[in-house]
Amino acid sequence: MSEGCELCDQAGGEVLVQQPDFRVVLVDDKNYPGFCRVIWNSHVGEMTDLDPQQRDAVMQAVWKVEAAVRETMQPDKVNVASLGNMTPHVHWHVIPRYREDLHFPSPVWAQTQRWPDPAAVNARRALLPALREALKRHFA
């Protein structure tokens, strides 16, 4: 734990998978339903601070999350990113992307390209129960 680190002090989203070394959370993002994070539980700043077995474990988790997101959310593309500039704690973003989303083809952190389509976002939000189940299945 590192005092003042939001990923040490908070779950980082709705915890869907809890493992001894990492957790998978569903991020509450109104425009990007299905946005997940894989968060290393202990306060570690960089992937190379982990030993090779730990790095393999976190990356296998990322790929399981990507598979579950693709299976249920049917995105046009999946963005997988580890930035950590503002939160120096190992975590990976897994974000389903669609050609008509707010930022496509730019990253979700870029300037918006268009207004959201409420019907499309609501349809994707309706898939979240299936995503929760798919994640449980992929990590069983």
User: What pLDDT digit, counting tens, does each position of 81-133 carry?
Assistant: 998 777 889 999 999 999 999 999 999 999 999 999 999 999 999 999 999 99
Backbone angles phi, psi at 22, to 5 degrees: -150, 170
**Is the pLDDT reported for residue 3 higher than 90?**
no
* pLDDT value for 84: 73
Our count of domains for the chain comes to 1
**Cα 38 from Cα 15, distance rounded (Å):** 10
In a domain, 63, yes or no: yes
Q: What is the pTM of this model?
A: 0.94
- Average pLDDT for residues 1-19, to the nearest whole number? 88
Domain ranges, residue 85 = 6-138
Neighbours of 121 (CB within 10 A): 18
* pLDDT value for 88: 86
Q: What is the CATH number of the domain that holds 122?
A: 3.30.428.10
* pLDDT value for 83: 85
In a domain, 1, yes or no: no
| 62 neighbors 76 (Cβ within 8 angstroms) | no
